[in-house]
A = this chain, B = another copy of it.
Amino acid sequence: KVVRLAVIPGDGIGPEVVAATVPALRAALEADGHRLDVTSFDWGGERYLRQGAAMPPDAADLVKKTDAVLFGAVGRPDVPEHELVWGLIIGLRQQLDLAVNLRPVRAFPGVPTKVRDTDGVDLVIVRENTEGEYVGAGGVAHAGSGHDLGIEVAVHSRRAIERAAHQAFALAGRRSGRLCLVTKSNAMRYGYPLWDRVVREVGEQYPGVELETVLVDAMAARMIQAPRSLDVLLASNLFGDILSDLAAVLAGGMGMAPSANVLPDAEVPGIYEPVHGSAPDIAGKGVANPVACLLSGAMLLEDLGHTDAARRVRDAVADTLRDTRHHTADLGGNATTADVASAVLHTMESQ
């Protein structure tokens, strides 16, 4: 079988971590007799500077011809951030209608963390991925008058909440049977109370899953204080964004957190991307941690049904991380991106 992979390396360290990942995915597939067919798209900041748009208007159609997308990162200091965010990654998430963003966080043995006692941390944030605070609605009244009023409109639809909730309950059912919904219904009166209501209703279809509802502020503290009390979290677009960066700390930092933008049971390709950004400060130095991207690649293989190949990548990453000589600077080591990539490949070959 052939896996048709779209690759969007993007900006900053994006191309570096993607380059460290594609060979591992290829090797993992070839070990099972499959082939990886890569189409690379030069979308991102450079294209914006050259052509005035981060991606072409038919970008969504182009990636729809592939099985899955591996995305690096976007963002560069000389391009207005929203041109790359709305013009590329949020744009694609919404145009492809990728309902949820799955953000697993797992503590790997051997990786140091700033939080004590993270052994065994293994949680997944199911982030609604198409709306909420990310709809881009609103405006500025009285602009420039000295009485400017910025109005930001968040939209939470039953449809989007239901889609995300079904994913979260199903996932919780396959894992611990516990689901934690994160809202802020004591302060926000319409959107989050609707979340509470709809998720409770969806939960009636999953009697085996126990639902707990936690306020986002309390959850932020609990994530650090008692991370092992958490398994599957369900959150809005904004809360999922904040909590997933925070959760990454439990695994050693942003260099460790993979994600999958998916619309399960649909024909549309998922976008798999490290949670970290383009990190312009370390870009071009070859020192970025490729683990988040490698693990995103493993999620990609898993979702395409290449379970063994996915496991091989994941196991090789875990094995590699046991040895501090393969830790990049963010983990306190001095390995290069290429060091990690070749250690992972080597480990896969000797498995």
A149 with B155: CB separation less than 8 A: yes
* A78 CB, min distance to chain B CBs, angstroms: 15
Q: Which residues in B have their C-beta under 8 angstroms from that of A189?
A: 82, 86, 136, 138, 152
Q: CA of A157 to CA of B147 in the docked complex: distance in angstroms?
A: 7
CB of A52 closer than 8 Å to a CB of B: no
The answer to whether residues A193 and B150 also contact, given A187-B134, A224-B114, A242-B242 and a CB cut-off of 8 A, is: yes
The answer to whether residues A190 and B151 also contact, given A185-B81, A225-B249, A249-B224 and a CB cut-off of 8 A, is: yes
Select one of B115, B184, B198 contacting A224, CB under 8 A.
B115
CB of A253 closer than 8 Å to a CB of B: yes
Q: CA of A244 to CA of B122 in the docked complex: distance in angstroms?
A: 25
Q: Interface centre among A81, A184, A217, A254, by most B CB within 10 Å? A: A217
CB of A158 closer than 8 Å to a CB of B: yes
* A246 CB, min distance to chain B CBs, angstroms: 4
A154 with B155: CB separation less than 8 A: no
Q: CA of A317 to CA of B187 in the docked complex: distance in angstroms?
A: 32
The answer to whether residues A158 and B148 also contact, given A187-B134, A190-B139, A245-B221 and a CB cut-off of 8 A, is: yes
* Chain A 223-260 near chain B by CB (<8 Å), digits 1 or 0: 01100000000000110011111101100011000000
CB of A38 closer than 8 Å to a CB of B: no
CB of A218 closer than 8 Å to a CB of B: yes
CB of A85 closer than 8 Å to a CB of B: yes
| Interface positions of A from 95 to 128, Cβ below 8 Å from B | 114-117
Select one of B115, B117, B220 contacting A245, CB under 8 A.
B220
A152 with B190: CB separation less than 8 A: yes
Q: Which residues in B have their C-beta under 8 angstroms from that of A216?
A: 241-242
Known: A136-B189, A218-B277, A221-B254. 4 other contacts (CB 8 A): A114-B116, A114-B224, A134-B187, A152-B190
What are 22 A-B contacts with C-beta separation under 8 Å? A81-B185, A86-B189, A114-B116, A115-B115, A115-B224, A133-B187, A134-B188, A138-B154, A147-B158, A148-B157, A148-B198, A150-B155, A150-B194, A153-B153, A153-B154, A184-B238, A217-B242, A217-B245, A220-B242, A220-B246, A221-B253, A246-B246
The 4 closest A-B pairs by CB, nearest first: A150-B194, A152-B191, A150-B191, A217-B245
